[in-house]
Amino acid sequence: MDYTESVVPFYDDMSFRRKFRMSKGTFHILSQYLKDLPEFSFDHPGGKEHVSVEKQLLMTLWYLGSCDTIDKMGDRFGISTSSVIRCRNRILAAVNRHLKRRFIVWPNAQKIPEVEEHFGQRNGFPGIIGALDGSHIEIKKPTLHGNSYINRKGYASLQVQAVCTDDMLFIHIFTGYPGSCHDARILRNSDLWQNGPNLCGENHIIADAAYPTRKWLLTPYRDNGHLNAAQKKYNKYHSSCRVVIERAFALLKGRFRRLKYIDASVKTAVIIIMCSCIFHNICLINHDDVNEFLEDADMLDPVLNPICVHDNYNDEGVRKRDLIAAGLI
């Protein structure tokens, strides 16, 4: 009884973090963001029992960080299952509506040189401001067009396309496409495809061979057994920098274990994924510990081997890649 009022306040920071997937300090900062939003002004009439913002947020974090059923959560938090769902949906909707544009942002002109420098410190690969990749989030097979969600591993999933910086901070998220879609198709249907040249300028993001090569998007050389020394070094350095996006996905799924399998509608699953990414960034910005959750993750999320598409190249991208490769020798 009174779990949030009588038990949670006495957790030490380690216990709190393990249960709610962030530190007490980050939780209180996030609570303050939410309290100022119109969704949580309780002046409206009605007979429903008032549930504090803190309690609603604790329930949502428990939901995202565990695989508990809604029934079990209702027992733990002492409210009905319908109230658990209502509180969860209210928090998720508010975070997605108000905090996404605040915490998932592309670096501005003042920030880009710093991001580029941090990537460059790894091995000298110049000009990188982000690493791009996709990841599959397993979901319950939808009843409508269910087969289109089955990926090459044989399970239903939603794709998440993400770009992150060297510190695993997401600067772009695009999600909602079925698991059967190819990475390159998802990119071409995202806002990043249209805005990428302007966002990157003379810089670039890096991605694996599933993506097209452009001046603003550099991929590895296709290994046909005849790569020269410069091309091999380019691929090695490129891979070393690109691993950060795999670590970001591993941290995301290690912290928010609900992303291992979402038993909800596609619409709700998309919001759950997006809000998990927002919370991921908030935790990193507030210097929450990451090692514990990276250890919990599969580390390298079962990544599906990229399918190379032969028309993925253009002259500007190839020339830029060749110049960088020559400069790394």
pLDDT, tens digit (0-9, with 9 covering 90-100), for 204-252: 999 999 999 999 999 999 998 999 999 999 999 999 999 999 999 999 9
pLDDT, tens digit (0-9, with 9 covering 90-100), for 115-170: 999 999 999 999 999 999 999 999 999 999 999 999 999 999 999 999 999 999 99
Confidence of residue 47 (pLDDT cuts 50, 70, 90): very low
Distance in angstroms (rounded) separating the CA atoms of residues 92 and 169: 20
Note the Cα 71 to chain centre separation in Å.
27
- Predicted local confidence at residue 178, as pLDDT: 97
Confidence of residue 309 (pLDDT cuts 50, 70, 90): low
Q: Which of 199, 210, 215, 203 is nearest to 245 (CA)?
A: 210
Q: Which of 12, 13, 18, 15 is nearest to 295 (CA)?
A: 18
Asked if 297 and 254 count as a contact pair (C-beta separation under 8 A), the reply is: yes
Q: Which of 255, 103, 273, 244 is nearest to 168 (CA)?
A: 244
pLDDT, tens digit (0-9, with 9 covering 90-100), for 79-110: 999 999 999 999 999 999 999 999 999 999 99
Distance in angstroms (rounded) separating the CA atoms of residues 29 and 24: 9
Distance in angstroms (rounded) separating the CA atoms of residues 159 and 60: 22
Asked if 300 and 246 count as a contact pair (C-beta separation under 8 A), the reply is: yes
What tokens appear for 62 in the block?
């428990």
Q: What is the 3-state secondary structure (H, E, C) of the chain?
A: CCHHHHHHHHCCHHHHHHHHCCCHHHHHHHHHHHHCCHHHCCCCCCCCCCCCHHHHHHHHHHHHHCCCCHHHHHHHHCCCHHHHHHHHHHHHHHHHHHCHHHHCCCCCCCCHHHHHHHHHHHHCCCCEEEEEEEEEEEECCCCCCHHHHECCCCCEEEEEEEEECCCCCEEEEEEEEECCCCHHHHHHCCHHHHHHHHHHCCCEEECCCCCCCECCEECCCCCCCCCCHHHHHHHHHHHHHHHHHHHHHHHHHHHCHHHHCECCCHHHHHHHHHHHHHHHHHHHHCCCCCHHHHHHCCCCCCCCCCCCCCCCCCHHHHHHHHHHHHHHC
